[in-house]
Amino acid sequence: MTELLQIDRLVTEFKIGGKMVPAVREVSLQVRKGRTLVVLGESGSGKSVMLRSILNLKPTGAKLGGAIKLEGEDLLPLTDKEMAKVRGNKISMIFQDALSALDPLYRVGDQIVETIRAHRKVSKEEARKRTVELLGKVGIPAPEERMRAFPHEMSGGMRQRAVIAMALACDPALLLADEPTTALDVTIQAQILRLFKDLQRDLGMSIVLVTHDIGVAAEMADDIAVMYAGKIVEYGRARQILSAPSHPYTVGLIEATPKRGQRGKLPAIPGQPPLITAMPEGCAFADRCQHAQDACRASQPSFTTYGESHGAACHLLQGAQPIAQ
Ligand code: SF4
Ligand code: MG
């Protein structure tokens, strides 16, 4: 089996105004072993909700449906206690506001020691050794010394490295990262992305990285899933999606991204995605799509797969012909 994680028709519903409203709408995805899947989309597309759903993290009253299989085992029916074992051990998550993952009142090293001991039966001394090793692994210089620092004594980039070290504490097979570099300046961002790649090469874990930044996707992705209004509208190998996108939304995203050396005004996609409380009956992108036809507003396009691993959901592709750009 080359897939570590297989998500089948995941639905995440929120209770809004007494009604159940889907924020994630029948998402199916695969995460390959030792590879990076980038989930790309604008804010509000449901990508963070989807990511948190993998760990069964949801607000009160929310409901999950479908299946999330980690090496064949469905995580959704697991009890809270069973799920707590999966979290941190097999799957770790770096949240969007990663810096708040560190408690300002405790030394960084102590927090990592505690994380290790929460998951593994090891002595304090062993956990301390492992912490020094982890801090070194994520590129924190003089880890013996730095582990005694408080979060505010570290720069943003160093704190993010410490958060990554904490996520790696128990050798997860899968690392989930929600916009892990958005809060950092461009130079530090490049260093952190490089670190993810080095860690993946050395440790062999799979990564699911959520971003709105197509540059990050181009840098990191083996596979890309483009998410819009709670659905995957295009999925495939990164190379293929970035060089020959099929869905009008992906085409728009790529055209709106500055190319190296490009000058002048960029074409942005006009309009806004629909609110989850007001989803149209047909294609959710229709109001912003220059190719929209009557059929697009009448019914939702189904996901068409073509080639070995590429697919998109658009009425124009039903004949399995990518649209001309
Ligand atoms: Fe555009 Fe229609 Fe395709 Fe939706 S289904 S993306 S509206 S062409
Ligand atoms: Mg988000």
Domain ranges for the chain, please list them.
3-90+172-317, 98-171
Read off the pLDDT of residues 284-304 as tens digits, 9 standing for 90 and up: 999 999 999 999 999 999 998
Q: Average pLDDT over the chain, rounded to whole?
A: 92
Confidence of residue 182 (pLDDT cuts 50, 70, 90): confident
The percentage of residues in the chain with a pLDDT greater than 70, rounded to a whole number, is 95
Query: Looking at the DSSP assignment, which residues form a beta bridge with residue 169?
Result: none
Confidence of residue 317 (pLDDT cuts 50, 70, 90): confident
Pocket test for ligand 1, best of 315, 317, 318, 321 (most atoms within 8 A of CB): 315
Q: Dihedrals φ, ψ of 233, to 5°? A: -95, -20
The encoded tokens of residue 307 equal: 């080639």
Q: Put the strands of the sheet holding 73-74 in their side by side order.
A: 19-32, 3-16, 63-70, 73-74
- In the predicted model, what is the mean pLDDT of residues 95-107? 85
Read off the pLDDT of residues 52-82 as tens digits, 9 standing for 90 and up: 999 999 888 899 999 999 999 999 999 999 9
Ligand 1 pocket check for 315: Cβ under 6 Å:
yes
Ligand 1 pocket check for 291: Cβ under 6 Å:
yes
Nearest listed ligand to the Cα of residue 280: 1
Distance between CA atoms of residues 139 and 127, nearest Å: 19
Q: At 79, which helix (H) or strand (E)?
A: none
Distance of CA 92 to the CA centre of its chain: 12
Say if residue 325's pLDDT is above 60.
no
Confidence of residue 322 (pLDDT cuts 50, 70, 90): very low
Read off the pLDDT of residues 188-220 as tens digits, 9 standing for 90 and up: 999 999 999 999 999 999 999 999 999 999 999
pLDDT of residue 282: 96
Say if residue 137's pLDDT is above 70.
yes
Residue bearing tokens 């604008």: 42
Read off the pLDDT of residues 216-273 as tens digits, 9 standing for 90 and up: 999 999 999 999 999 999 999 999 999 999 999 999 999 888 776 666 666 788 899 9
What 3-state DSSP class applies to 93?
strand
Say if residue 43's pLDDT is above 60.
yes
CATH number of the domain at 3-90+172-317, please? 3.40.50.300
Distance between CA atoms of residues 146 and 134, nearest Å: 12
Taking residue 279's Cβ as centre, other Cβ atoms within 10 Å add up to 17
Q: Does the predicted model carry a pTM greater than 0.90?
A: yes
pLDDT of residue 97: 76
Contact partners, residue 204, CB within 8 Å, separation at least 6: 33, 34
**Triad 183, 256, 302: Cα angle to 5°:** 100
pLDDT of residue 170: 87
Contact 24, 12 (CB under 8 A): yes
Ligand 1 pocket check for 289: Cβ under 6 Å:
yes
Nearest listed ligand to the Cα of residue 229: 1
The percentage of residues in the chain with a pLDDT greater than 90, rounded to a whole number, is 79
Q: What is the whole-number distance in angstroms between the Cα of residue 287 and the centre of ligand 1? A: 9
Read off the pLDDT of residues 109-125 as tens digits, 9 standing for 90 and up: 999 999 999 988 999 99
Q: What is the whole-number distance in angstroms between the Cα of residue 254 and the centre of ligand 1? A: 17
Say if residue 39's pLDDT is above 50.
yes
